[in-house]
């Protein structure tokens, strides 16, 4: 069964309130720039102390030695997952794998906020699917545990790669929610049908009048 990951893209009081209120539910909490840069262990320790899995979404993208150090620090914080941009290249991925320990490495393929037109503008002339497939192949060859992609690509990757990996899917929207800055969005049902293993949801939950109830509803749909 797919797991639900809540992206805590909010301030510290709201994040800690939500983590405390959801104690006991089978959830992963994702910490990104906003909370990590501002509050670091105040939020990562809280997530671990409450018994949840910790997803550090730092999207490491640097020279191999710097990526290696980043992964080592994420491991020390007890991160269960950490993201690395696959486009950091083979050697950065190799060094990340070498030091990851029990922390699962998730390779970011193409951000879900980018579409075909962005690829062209960036000078990446292959089509979106071909680009993502190439990156995913490299990540799995190097031993990463998962690939971050949109729900639109999960089926293709699972069929083409024929490998066991965690398909991590952000850009998921509930009916009526705006896509905002995300371009490659799918509905929760589409993400699940496509084979997502970890469904990442941020604003759809955080902006709900009752986020706890919203999470309960989503968990029911996943089950």
Distance CA 202, CA 214 (A): 11
Residues linked to residue 172 through DSSP beta bridges, in sequence order: 186
Q: Interface with ligand C5P by CB under 6 A: which range of 37-45, 93-101, 108-116, 157-165?
A: 108-116
Q: Which of 70, 151, 171, 211 binds ligand C5P (CB under 6 A)?
A: 171
Active site residues: 59
- Residue 197 Cβ, how far from ligand C5P at the closest point, in Å? 15
Residue 9 vs 118, nearer CB to ligand C5P: 9
| Residue (of 21, 135, 171, 13) closest to 146 by Cα position | 135
Is 112 an interacting residue with respect to ligand C5P (CB under 6 A)?
A: yes
| Residue (of 167, 166, 204, 198) closest to 182 by Cα position | 204
Q: Which of 52, 56, 182, 218 binds ligand C5P (CB under 6 A)?
A: 182
Helix/strand/coil (H/E/C) assignment for every residue in 110-141: CCCCCCHHHHHHCCCCCCHHHHHHHHHHHHHH
Q: Provide the CB-side half-sphere exposure for 165 (13 A, CA).
A: 29
Q: Which of 9, 62, 190, 217 binds ligand C5P (CB under 6 A)?
A: 9
Tokens of 163: 């490998």
Is 111 an interacting residue with respect to ligand C5P (CB under 6 A)?
A: yes
Is 146 an interacting residue with respect to ligand C5P (CB under 6 A)?
A: no
Q: Which of 67, 154, 167, 200 binds ligand C5P (CB under 6 A)?
A: 200
Tokens of 118: 């962005």
Residue 98 vs 122, nearer CB to ligand C5P: 122
Q: Which of 201, 211, 215, 218 binds ligand C5P (CB under 6 A)?
A: 201
Which residues 19-58 are close enough to bind ligand C5P by CB under 6 A?
32, 57
Q: Interface with ligand C5P by CB under 6 A: which range of 40-48, 89-97, 132-140, 201-209?
A: 201-209
* Torsion, CA 91, CA 150, CA 20, CA 214, rounded to 10: 180
Residue 65 vs 126, nearer CB to ligand C5P: 126
| Placement of tokens 């939950």 in the chain | 205
């Amino acid at each position: 069964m797919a797991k639900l990951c809540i992206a805590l893209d909010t301030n510290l009081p709201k994040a800690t309130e939500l983590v405390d209120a959801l104690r006991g539910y089978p959830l992963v909490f994702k910490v990104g720039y906003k909370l990590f840069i501002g509050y670091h262990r105040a939020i990562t320790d809280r997530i671990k102390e409450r018994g949840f899995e910790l997803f550090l979404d730092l999207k490491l993208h640097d020279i191999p030695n710097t990526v290696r150090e980043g992964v080592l620090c994420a491991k020390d914080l007890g991160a269960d997952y950490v993201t690395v941009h696959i486009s950091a290249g083979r050697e950065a991925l190799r060094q990340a794998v070498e030091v990851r320990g029990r922390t699962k490495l998730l390779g970011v393929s193409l951000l879900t906020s980018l579409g075909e037109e962005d690829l062209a503008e960036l000078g990446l002339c292959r089509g979106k699917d071909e680009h993502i497939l190439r990156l995913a192949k490299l990540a799995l060859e190097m031993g990463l545990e998962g690939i971050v992609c949109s729900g639109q690509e999960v089926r293709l990757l699972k069929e083409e790669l024929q490998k066991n990996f965690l398909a991590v899917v952000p850009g998921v929207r509930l009916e009526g929610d705006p896509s905002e800055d995300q371009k490659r969005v799918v509905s929760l049902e589409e993400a699940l049908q496509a084979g997502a293993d970890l469904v990442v949801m941020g604003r759809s939950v955080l902006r709900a009048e009752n986020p706890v109830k919203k999470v309960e509803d989503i968990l029911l749909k996943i089950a």
